[in-house]
Amino acid sequence: MTFQDIFKSSFLENVNSISVLDMVLAIVLAFGIGMFIFFVYKRTFSGIMYSSGFGVTLIALTMISTFVILAVTSNVVLSLGMVGALSIVRFRTAIKEPLDIAFLFWAIAAGIVLAAGMIPLAVFGSVGIGIVLLVFANKKTYMRPYIVVLRLDGHDGERSAMEFLKKQVQKYVVKSKTAQKGMVELNVEIRMKDDDTDFINVLSDMPGVGSAVLVSYNGEYMS
């Protein structure tokens, strides 16, 4: 094999299949869209523990999918090999928040569309998705459920506490009740009329009430 054969190889021909300007432009746009996705994720996060690592993963996933699709679109043989390589990949990380799945697919789809050359679709589509998520994911409602945990001294304390609670909330449902000698524990799901939680302070000071705890939850932990 001579030097002339090396320079005529198909491997070196593939080096120039995508221009440097196209590669730089695609990666820069992928980084910008990934940052936008990360910003929307940070603003709409409503879980228990925020993970900055997941946000960085969204940026990296957008950029990775972009240069992978760039490589696939430039070489048909490479595309077949890429399908085979990706078919053996298994992801076993549990997704705790359902909305996180939407962000993962958003990052992958943005990278694919961007690498396919449909830049307006990638940009305006991402902006539209971001606006929808910012509007609906951050929409607050006073009808979200709360759990009130009460420790009461017998039947009289239970009756007075429930009468007071009935007047303060819009709706309530007793989820569980534990009765022991001289003590009753109640778990009551409530829907508050507004965001004022001062009624818990008044409730805890009532005669016959040992303690009153207000807990917010998303409606999935208890049934």
Tens-level pLDDT at each residue, the chain (223 residues): 554 454 445 544 555 566 778 788 889 999 999 999 999 998 888 766 667 788 888 999 899 888 888 877 766 555 555 555 555 556 566 666 778 888 989 998 998 888 888 889 989 999 999 999 888 876 655 467 888 888 888 777 888 888 888 888 888 888 888 888 878 888 888 888 777 788 888 888 888 888 888 887 654 443 3
DSSP conformational letter for 218: -
State how far the alpha carbon of 164 is from the alpha carbons of 22, 35, 52, 171, 176, in Å.
68, 49, 43, 13, 18
CB neighbourhood size of 221 (10 A): 9
Domain boundaries, the chain: 3-137, 145-216
Top CATH class, 145-216: alpha beta
